[in-house]
Amino acid sequence: MIPRVRTALSGLLAVCVVAIVSMPAVSQAAEAAAPAAGAPAAAADAPAAATAAKPIGDFIPDRDYRVGPEDLLDITVWREDALKQQSLVRPDGGISFPLIGEVLAAGKTIEEIRDEIAKRLEKFLPSPVVNVSIVRVASNRIYIIGKVNKPGDMPAGRFVDVLQALSMAGGLTPFAAENRIQILRREGSRQVSIPFNFGEIRRGIRMEQNILLQAGDTVLVP
């Protein structure tokens, strides 16, 4: 019995010694991984300039959407609350912004407007971070009237064809004359009518009728 007890005690003693020796190494590893007490948090970096597209009603402007008169822009500069403002694009295509004055906005994407403002602000601010977003789209609109489920006006975006416009209007009603749809377009002082035969498009015939719409176009569904 005594030899067995001695053997058991020796084994237990060896385990305890190993555990005691290992404890400092574990503590040191934990201390190395944990942040020092009272150490200040890392300063937040300036946010990257953002021009994320936000839904405006049923319309989501894409990166290539070009701003037009009567569009409303929201412009901010990081850490410069005095420079935060909403700017309505005037009929001449311009907006006014503090420090830099007049900026031509019409015909440009929001990224191009952002870059222009940031570049001109560099004379007054070190590395300005500018954000531009569209609050309201009013310039690039098309109109759908007649026998559709949701007639009215809607933003056209960059590439909207006739089928897409009819879809945004909720589709044709059962009584629509689908083969006699007209696209009314203003060209200078005159207005032209472009025929659109929905029945042919549905059968895959004369697909060239499905033209891209332009701002101000009216789709008439008799």
Residue 222 CA to residue 220 CA, distance in Å, equals 6
- For residues 78 and 10, the model is more confident at 78
Model confidence at 222: pLDDT above 80 = yes
Considering the domain architecture, whether residues 76 and 121 belong to the same structural domain is answered as yes
Considering the domain architecture, whether residues 190 and 122 belong to the same structural domain is answered as no
Determine, yes or no, domain membership for 119. yes
pLDDT bracket for residue 25 (50, 70, 90): very low
Considering the domain architecture, whether residues 151 and 202 belong to the same structural domain is answered as yes
Determine, yes or no, domain membership for 2. no
Determine, yes or no, domain membership for 157. yes
Residue range of the domain that includes 126: 72-136
Model confidence at 44: pLDDT above 70 = no
Considering the domain architecture, whether residues 92 and 158 belong to the same structural domain is answered as no
Mean pLDDT of the chain: 81
Phi, psi of 163 (to 5 degrees): -60, -40
Model confidence at 147: pLDDT above 70 = yes
* E strands in 85-211: 85-88, 94-97, 101-104, 130-136, 141-146, 152-155, 181-187, 190-196
Residue 72 CA to residue 87 CA, distance in Å, equals 6
Cα–Cα separations (whole angstroms), residue 89 to 27, 50, 72, 97, 119:
63, 20, 6, 11, 20
Model confidence at 35: pLDDT above 80 = no
Looking at the structure of the chain, the number of domains it has is 2
Are 68 and 139 in contact by the 8 Å Cβ rule? The answer is yes
The closest alpha carbon to 74, from 91, 63, 89, 57, belongs to 89
Q: What is the pLDDT of residues 84-120, one digit of tens each?
A: 999 999 989 999 999 999 999 998 999 999 999 999 9
Residue 201 CA to residue 161 CA, distance in Å, equals 12
pLDDT number for residue 136 = 85
Q: Tokens in use for 141?
A: 């609109």
Model confidence at 36: pLDDT above 50 = no
Which residue type sits at 204? G
pLDDT number for residue 159 = 75
pLDDT bracket for residue 53 (50, 70, 90): low
Average pLDDT, stretch 18-24? 47
pTM here is 0.55
pLDDT number for residue 57 = 52
| Burial (0-12, 13-18, 19+ Cβ within 10 Å), 117 | buried
Determine, yes or no, domain membership for 100. yes
Determine, yes or no, domain membership for 28. no
Model confidence at 26: pLDDT above 50 = no
pLDDT number for residue 10 = 52
pLDDT number for residue 33 = 45
pLDDT number for residue 186 = 87
Considering the domain architecture, whether residues 206 and 185 belong to the same structural domain is answered as yes
Q: Tokens in use for 64?
A: 């290539």
3-state SS of the chain: helix, strand, coil percent to 5?
30, 25, 45
Model confidence at 216: pLDDT above 60 = yes
Helix residue spans in the chain (DSSP H): 2-33, 110-121, 162-168, 198-202
Determine, yes or no, domain membership for 22. no
DSSP class of residue 45?
Answer: P
Average pLDDT, stretch 122-151? 92
Express as a percent the part of the chain with pLDDT over 90: 57
Q: Of 136, 154, 184, which marks where a domain is finished?
A: 136
Residue 207 CA to residue 211 CA, distance in Å, equals 9
